[in-house]
Amino acid sequence: MKILMISDVYFPRVNGVSTSIESFRRALTRLGHSVTLICPAYPVGHEDDPGIRRIHSRGVLTDPEDRMMHYRRILALAPELAAQGFDLIHVHTPFVAHYAGRALGARLGLPVFETCHTLFEEYLHHYLTWLPASLLRFAARRVAVRQCQTVAALISPSTPMREALVRYGVSRPISVVATGLPVEAFAAGGEGQVSAADTRRGFDIDAEAPLLLFVGRAAHEKNIAFLIEMLPRVLACHPHATLVVAGEGPARQALARQARAAGVEASVRFVGYLARDGELQALYRAADVFVFASRTETQGLVLLEAMALATPVVSTAVMGTRDVLCDGEGCLVAEDDESAFAATVNRLLEDPALSSELAQRAVVYAGRWHEVAQATALLECYQSQLAPKEEVALPSIGSP
């Protein structure tokens, strides 16, 4: 099968959509399929394989991390793309990529699939603060319905996200296909290179200090503010505990100010984005507990990354994280309350036997989310919507 993917974001822009696309590209290729990705060119350097087509883009006023592709430059590729004989188009973002994907679908006579990665009704009010949140939620829902109704089928990364789309009034077929994890490769990254003690030393963290870790975009919708607010309750029991935030984003300065105001500035480290080929894995391994409290996540792949590296998780189970988390299977599900969350973290830090048991279960549990299994599920979604003459035999997970 030949698949044309289109997205408004991709590496070097680090976020969940970029990670999801890369996971499916890698796994689909491993299963013997061809994937071409159309995505923005960024002002910083990036190395690409031949399957990536970068489109000239310009900056986005409200978010300096993102880029906007030139619509007409994408459509100009139509003759070249037609000659390559694609079977379908898979859109990953609802901006220029959505409209260009639909236009290419019409020109090339191809079905268009779209993944709804983001719950925008809980996102926009953090960035368009001068508009009423209720108005933004209404607008986000209406735009989502209009866009979703124009494609052949939809992919949702979690059951709660599918439920939200149905609640909006979307009637197109929706398949739940979560992003998978390259379990072996991710767990192997950096193995044997950097010890936990060396990793901690690199971030000026005492070898014996309880280390709480958050990995993700430093954005308001990630609810990192909740973690900072609950931290004093952890420090009351574990005075040397440190919260490390690994990621960049528009909320970083506000979060730093919040930490100062809460009197926990010395116990919070903002370390920015870390390389995923060893540096990030080393930090996961060095942590005592991975903490997460996002209320808008449509999946939460970082939870599985932590568990794959035997780091116990304490997290709320809201939206997409409900699908990922199973209490006791590598994690403790905490209430969406600062006091209760901190009490759960303290319980884990004070019970080495529980921590060890969760660490062992975490590795096994993460293995169930292998990216090849998820790519196989995606192929089944494609096949269910393609004409019978285009059906393809689905390979087994163990296929090269």
Nearest to 35 by CA among 45, 22, 44, 46: 22
For range 37-54, the mean pLDDT: 92
At 139, is the pLDDT very low, low, confident or very high (cuts 50, 70, 90)?
confident
What's CA 144's distance to the chain center, in Å? 19
For range 244-256, the mean pLDDT: 95
pTM of the model: 0.88
Q: Before 157, cis peptide (omega within 30)?
A: no
The predicted structure's pLDDT at residue 44: 86
> What is 2-180+370-390's CATH number?
3.40.50.2000
Strands lying side by side in the sheet with 242-246: 268-270, 242-246, 211-215, 289-292, 313-315, 331-333
At 242, is the pLDDT very low, low, confident or very high (cuts 50, 70, 90)?
very high
Where do we find the tokens 């986005």? 60
At 157, is the pLDDT very low, low, confident or very high (cuts 50, 70, 90)?
very high
pLDDT tens-digit series, residues 356-382: 999 999 999 999 999 999 999 999 999
Quote the CA–CA distance of 161 and 93 in Å, as a whole number.
Answer: 15
With a pLDDT cut of 90, the percent of the chain lying above it is: 80
At 136, is the pLDDT very low, low, confident or very high (cuts 50, 70, 90)?
confident
Task: At 158, give phi and psi (nearest 5°).
Answer: -160, 160
pLDDT tens-digit series, residues 268-288: 999 999 988 889 999 999 999
3-state SS of the chain is CEEEEECCCCCCCCCHHHHHHHHHHHHHHHCCCEEEEEEECCCCCCCCCCCEEEECEEEECCEEEEEEECHHHHHCCHHHHHHHCCCEEEECCCCHHHHHHHHHHHHHCCCEEEECCCCHHHCHHHCCCCCCHHHHHHHHHHHHHHHHCCCCEEEECCHHHHHHHHHHCCCCCEEECCCCECHHHHHHCCCCCCCHHHHHHHCCCCCCCCEEEEECCCCHHHCHHHHHHHHHHHHCCCCCCEEEEECCCCCHHHHHHHHHHCCCHHHEEECCCCCCCCHHHHHHHHCCEEEECCCCCCCCHHHHHHHHCCCCEEECCCCCHHHHCCCCCCEEECCCCHHHHHHHHHHHHCCHHHHHHHHHHHHHHHHCCEHHHHHHHHHHHHHHHCCHHHCCCCCCCCCC
At 345, is the pLDDT very low, low, confident or very high (cuts 50, 70, 90)?
very high
For range 203-222, the mean pLDDT: 94
The predicted structure's pLDDT at residue 400: 34
| 38-42, 135-139, 185-189: least confidently modelled range | 185-189
The predicted structure's pLDDT at residue 133: 76
Q: What is the mean pLDDT of the chain?
A: 92
Same topology, domains 2-180+370-390 and 183-367? Answer is yes
The predicted structure's pLDDT at residue 96: 98
Nearest to 298 by CA among 5, 62, 3, 19: 19
Res 71 pLDDT > 50: yes
Quote the CA–CA distance of 386 and 338 in Å, as a whole number.
Answer: 48
Res 199 pLDDT > 80: yes
Is the Cα dihedral 188, 194, 195, 200 positive or negative?
negative
The predicted structure's pLDDT at residue 126: 56
In the chain, where the domains are located:
2-180+370-390, 183-367
At 227, is the pLDDT very low, low, confident or very high (cuts 50, 70, 90)?
very high
Res 231 pLDDT > 90: yes
pLDDT tens-digit series, residues 282-329: 999 999 999 999 998 989 999 999 999 999 999 999 999 999 999 999
Higher pLDDT, 24 or 122: 24
For range 67-80, the mean pLDDT: 97
The predicted structure's pLDDT at residue 123: 64
103 φ/ψ sector (left φ>0, alpha ψ -120 to 50, else beta): alpha
| 183-367: CATH, from 3.40.50.11890, 1.10.760.10, 3.40.50.2000, 3.40.50.2020 | 3.40.50.2000
